[in-house]
Each structure stands twice: as C-alpha cells, then as structure tokens.
Structure 1
Amino acid sequence: MIEDKIAPFIGTWILDSDASEFEQGDPPKSATLKIEDNFGMAVFTMNQVSADGAVTNDSFEGVPDGPEVKLGKSGLVDAMRLVFANDRNLVSEARRGGLTIMKAARELSEDGRTLTVTQTVHLVDVASFTNVSVYRRAQ
C-alpha cells in the first residue's frame, strides 16, 4: 500500500546546511521540510529563511505513484507527478508542456534519519543546476 511506502518519509526534517551543496542560489540560513500523509495524499510543507533573512513558505501535495496532477497556481509549471523510484527514493517531477523542468529525488538513508533531496532545475536553452539538500530527522 502507498501509505506503507510513504510512512518512513513522514515527519519533520531540518536542513543541515554544512552537508548541503548548492549550484544555484545561496544555501538558506535554515529550512525545514514536513512530510505528512493525508489519507494517501503526500503533503510537503517547506519553510526556509534565506541567506538575506527572507522567509519563504511553500507546500504541494500529490498521490505517490498516482496520476500526473495539473497545476494552476504557478506560471512556471503546469503539471506535477510523484513516484517512488524505490522504497527509499520518492521523486517529484514538475513539468511544463510535457517536459520535466524540475526533478526532486528524496532519498532516505538506511537508518531513516537522513533525507537527501537532490533537486535539478532545467532552464531551457540555458543550463541545468543541481542543489543537494541534506535534512536530518527532527527528534
């Protein structure tokens, strides 16, 4: 069942800035990622404080291994899908016009205490950038 597969990812995760690597943008001063299961719907809530002190809060949701979801709120992407690459890797793809422009792979460590998010952004006709954010499970 999907609920069983999402269970190890559920919780609050705190960014370990020193262990993270950013090709695009400055690493945030702090960040948290909360993953919840809402009756089979995975809900992701991100809160971060940038290097210059600006606070950003964002969230999205999707059904793991479910259909692609059409999005309306962002002009940047028009659809998103969420799939399990394997039991320890949950991947989201943000798409525009059928092309993946952002992919975030969330890989859970063997002990379940570290979540490494590898996010790649493809800027059409420019380049691709990858940021690796390492999160530790909040106690």
Structure 2
Amino acid sequence: MMTEDKIAPFLGTWILDAAECDFEQGDPPKSATLKIEDNFGMAIFTMNQVSADGEVTNDSFEAMPDGPEVKLGKSGLVDAMRLVFQNDRNLVSEARRGGLTIMKAERELSDDGQTLTVTQTVHLVDVASFKNISVYHRAQ
C-alpha cells in the first residue's frame, strides 16, 4: 500500500472536542483545529488553538510518513522528528532531542473515520511522563 493511500483517511480539518479531553499536564485548550494535508507525499500538520486563558497559538510542521528522521533547527526544544504509521489507523510522530524521544503524539483514527484521538506523551528527563489526550471530530 502506498503512503499516499495510508495518509488519505487522516487528511482534512479536525475540530477539538474540549469536553472529551483528558490532560495530565496543563489545561486542555478552549478550542482547537488540526488540519492535515498531503503535499506530494509530505504530511503537513497545521494546529490553531485557543488556550484555557484565551491565548491563541498557531503551529505547523511537516514530515514524510515512514520517511527519514527530519533534522530541526538547534534553537528549539527538539532537534529531530519522525512520523511513522504504526498501522493503518495510527499515525505517530516522535520529537527527539539528542537521540531521545521527548514527545510522542499518537493519532488514532476511529473505525468510521470521523474521530481522531491524539495521545500526546511528554517525557521530562529524570522527572516523569505526562499524557494528554485530545479528541477531534472531522469537520463537515
């Protein structure tokens, strides 16, 4: 199966269901959208969210599913990331620093393709791991 076919069910705009979120660290956003696009085999993720205290953040990244690790600038918290399919319904990104995975986001698609559950695990070195679960529904 080609990667484009595997990414297809994940593509589109997803709206956060704040009531369904379960955060161990911090507060879930008041609202958020996640847009996943395919650009010639590169998956582009664009996130827009309004935090619990009203702060707006926009973020995006791109990576090739099942492709090589992408090196990022030295200035950030992470220096590399990779995006892999664990299976047809689970797309996982790992953000790494110095070869260690410090953040992992597992995006799991429901059987009907209408719900995307994102489980984000943050590993704080020598401290603990936190799991934040966000539930998105496909925008109609």
Same-fold call, TM cutoff 0.5: yes
What is the correspondence of 1:45-124 to structure 2 with a 5 Å cutoff? 45-72=46-73, 74-124=75-125
**Moved segments of 4+, more than 4 Å:** none
TM-score for both structures, normalised by structure 2? 0.98
Secondary structure at the aligned position of 1:18 is classed as helix
Instruction: Give the superposed CA RMSD.
Output: 0.8
- Equivalent residue letter for 1:115: L
> How many residues matched?
139
Secondary structure at the aligned position of 1:56 is classed as strand
Any unmatched runs of 5+ in structure 2?
none
TM-score for both structures, normalised by structure 1? 0.98
Task: Give, in whole Å, the separation in 1 of the partners of 2:98 and 2:60.
Answer: 22
Secondary structure at the aligned position of 2:113 is classed as coil
Secondary structure at the aligned position of 1:82 is classed as strand
Aligned-pair identity in percent equals 87
Secondary structure at the aligned position of 1:94 is classed as strand
Task: Give, in whole Å, the separation in 2 of the partners of 1:120 and 1:70.
Answer: 20
CA positional deviation for 1:8: 0.2
- Equivalent residue letter for 1:130: K
Q: Which residue of 1 aligns with 2:126?
A: 125
Change (3 A) 1:102 1:74: farther
CA positional deviation for 1:75: 2.0
Task: Give, in whole Å, the separation in 1 of the partners of 2:134 and 2:76.
Answer: 25
Secondary structure at the aligned position of 1:3 is classed as helix
Secondary structure at the aligned position of 1:26 is classed as coil
